[in-house]
A and B are shown apart, each in its own frame.
Chain A
Amino acid sequence: MAEVVLDKVTKVYPGEITAVRTMDLQIRDAEFIVLVGPSGCGKTTVLRMVAGLEEITDGTVRIGDRVVNDVPPKNRDIAMVFQNYALYPHMTVYKNMSFALKLRRLPKTEIEQRVRDVAEILGIGELLERKPKALSGGQRQRVAVGRAIVRQPKAFLFDEPLSNLDAKLRVEMRAELKSLHNRLKTTTIYVTHDQEEAMTLGERIVVMKDGQVQQVGTPLEVYGRPANLFVAGFVGSPPMNMLSGKVIRWDQGFYFDEGLAKILLPERLNDALRDHVGKDVIMGIRPEAMNLHAQGRFAGQKNILPLTVKVIEPLGEKMDLYCSSENHPQIIARVDAEAGLEPGQSIELHLDLSRVHIFEPGEPGRNLGLT
């Protein structure tokens, strides 16, 4: 049983710099959870506190059923894969992988067994006698992962392990890591700044900013129901379009007035909007939730946004339209590719109202649709 629980965990550096503010998080056993956020948001600090490489200023960290605040790293039964792999350059791959096991005085035969098994799984069986400097980046990364696996720890901690690889390798390794997790079923805490990585790998995602958790949820949840402006803008590529405007009451409904057009807001938001009539809000809508034609989900008269096309980026099946209007300098729409569109042309974009979000402006920019 290896769940990891953070209870009001705080980290303050000398000089009053707060890196992590009172973080609560419950990670289930065998869960693959990803901490994601921009640089400096505190995700690595959290990871290091769980590992025991940073002191916890306040709060507790539990691994399994014990509080590990004062337990040194080597006794926490966790394994870590570093961003730069941290392979011992003077030891062979075999020695690198067996080092920790040797320290625990496991019998030689068992060490040998474990190392070879793991090497087999990772496909590095032939590299065991080489030294790190004779390996490629991808191979080194595998060895680093192998070193962690061989320990059979309660939890894996990954600190941006893929950021030193080229794009193609990264995609390959992502898939491998995922399949590894399925196989090993060990609790995994994974840190990355790449939201795409987070989305593909995590069972749950923890979005962080400035030392605070912005939202915890499954990729779908975080993507489809972002808790605030930051999460909404951080997750998803191209990012969600943010339009500023006002809420008005009109004709038995609540509308979003963005200056030129008025867009009918869905009924599910009515309760939330009641207190915001006449106030400034921000409407968020993803590029994929827009269409050139009023078909299907995009049907309707009250969901139109008039814009001018600036740049067209063909993507094969789809195309990205970079548009603007008087009130909005840049709106991106991802629509089915079609011919005949020219830059400078005026168009009308139809919005899928079921995927519209209303946020409070400013910090933190709460999503009014989630209560």
Chain B
Amino acid sequence: MSRCTSHKRFPLAKLTTYAVLLFYLIVVLYPMFWLLTTSLKTDRDIFLEPFKLPRLDELQWKNFSGAWTEGHFGDYFLNSVLVTVFSVGLTLLFASMAAYAVARFSFKGVRPLFFYFLAGLMIPLQLAIVPLFFQMKSLDLLNSRLGLVVVYVAFGLPFAFFILTGFFKSLPSSLHESALLDGASQFRAFWSVMLPLARPALITVGIFSFLGTWNEFFIAFMFLSGEGSQSLRTLPLGLANVTIVSQYRSDWGMAFAGLVVVMLPTLLVYILLQRRITKGLTVGALKG
């Protein structure tokens, strides 16, 4: 399906288009390929011959096993999974409940409440971080994954709330009313009838939240610095650490292997779900 029809007459235009696209394709893929091959080389080779491909019988799998155990990437991975799953889940739950109430019911103070949550969209993390740090310290939530989850949820609420209110507003009330007539409580009506209908919006928000939390560095960095926190680190934090460490130890192989460990799962998940993801992202962004 051609958009600009004139290119039919100019094969040259088509050729240049292809050339540019292919070029950029290589630009995108090559660093990852390089990363992959480098992670399987010895430290010496990494430094001396950065572009030589490792021989198939010389693949340094120990870089990976080292990263997983000594480099604690196994722990980091688990931490990231736990923190992300809980954060996203709780954000979706709390935000959808609040959004539902605000979108569909009129009660005293509903409009101010709406704008109250919306204000959060404008608030950059940095504004809150300084007092938040000390607050978490006094609540004894520093150096804990629970603390991370709490903060991630709190900061993820405004965006989720915003998208979900818009969505809930658009649902017909007839379904809700018939559920109530059938004898459901308000919560039951919400949980069993309206929430399932909100699935597209939930997916959109879920994707944004997931990407944001999984790759989050700043808060994790601030909150997971203290005693015994090594094993609590999330992947981005661990990755940054390992890279720095590897500079001191010249443990390049492990650093690269760690990078691969971080990148591969997200890439795989993306490839499998990419249709959903891009659709969700564009719908969400364009709507906003």
Contacts and interface: CB of A to CB of B under 8 A. Distances in A.
B8 interface: yes
6 contacts: A53-B5, A55-B8, A70-B9, A72-B6, A72-B9, A73-B5
Contacts of A70: 9
Interface in A120-155: none
Top 4 A-B pairs ranked by shortest CB distance?
Answer: A53-B5, A55-B8, A72-B6, A72-B9
Contacts, number: 6
B116 to A, nearest CB: 34
A62 B163 CA distance: 57
Interface string B1-21: 000011011000000000000
B2 to A, nearest CB: 10
Contacts of A53: 5
Contacts of B6: 72
A155 to B, nearest CB: 19
Residue with the greatest number of chain A CB neighbours at <10 A, chosen from B5, B6, B9: B5
Interface residues of B, number: 4
Determine chain A's interface SS by DSSP, over half rule. loop
Interface of B: 5-6, 8-9
Nearest to B5: A53
A149 to B, nearest CB: 24
Contacts of A72: 6, 9
Contacts of B8: 55
A73 B9 CA distance: 12
A53 B9 CA distance: 11
Nearest to A74: B6
Interface in A22-72: 53, 55, 70, 72
Interface in A61-111: 70, 72-73
A55 B5 CA distance: 10
A70 B9 CA distance: 9
A55 B9 CA distance: 9
Contacts of A55: 8
B9 to A, nearest CB: 7
Contacts of A73: 5
A97 B120 CA distance: 46
B4 to A, nearest CB: 12
Contacts of B5: 53, 73
Nearest to B8: A55
A72 B8 CA distance: 11
Nearest to A55: B8
A54 to B, nearest CB: 9
